[in-house]
Amino acid sequence: MSSKNIALITGGAQGIGFACAEALAADGAQIVIADVNGEGAIAAAAKLGGKGYACDMANSKAVLALFDKIEAEVGTVSILVNNAGIAAPGDFLELPLEQFTDVIGVNLIGTFVATQRAAKAMVAKGIKGAVVNMSSINAQVAIPAIAAYCASKGGVMQLTKSAALALAPHGIRVNAVGPGSIDTAMMAGVNADPNAMKMVMSRTPMGRVGNPREIGDVVAFLASDKASYITGETIYADGGRLGMNYTC
């Protein structure tokens, strides 16, 4: 990977997003982090010698303005990691439509808008870049309490395939990563509850949760020339979860 690559990671202020930024920085990319927490994005990017910006991925105009700023101040994005995401858990029968659309807005529509805008710039500049979307095992298996999240990640999986087909003639690859149970702030409650952790481990053949850098390394691989003949795929980094059809 050339140091000339400019990598934009959305939702990169912490957790899996920041781990992706670290892995890409280690491969020589110039890091740009966008996050709804603008101060967090700036601080996280500074650790890697990059730039941070505030951006709500549910706001399409803000996403387009973000790319304008990056192009004016840093350069054209050649690696895009669509990591920003929210879940909004709740009972299916009581879930407000507004919460459902909020999740779709960030996780799916935001991913589409960013991918389309990044791809337009890459095509205009003749850049054979890479897009890596953050999907989930919940693109394949469902949890009733996070219906919107599951729907959004299934959409991300199909968007990844469609974008890959559309952009392949331009030399732009589009792939996704589908994490299983990863040790992030979102799992803090599970980690603190022995019974909840026992349930997670019962459906994880490798017998442990993953760490964010393990996801970041898969993202960095898909963004690199080592994955030069891979496009339209989702790699599930889940400790073997999807291969199981029973729990002990």
Residues with catalytic roles? 149
- What number of residues does the chain have? 248
Per the listing, tokens 């029968």 go with: 93
Cα–chain center distance at 172: 17
Q: Which residues contact 116 (CB under 8 A, 6 or more apart)?
A: none
- Strand-pairing partners, residue 31, are 7
Range 149-166 burial, b when 16+ CB lie within 10 A, else e: bbbbbbbbbebbbebbee
Contact assessment for residue 220 and residue 115, using Cβ atoms and an 8 Å cutoff: no
Of 215, 197, 217, 193, the C-alpha closest to 207 is 197
Per the listing, tokens 């020339």 go with: 225
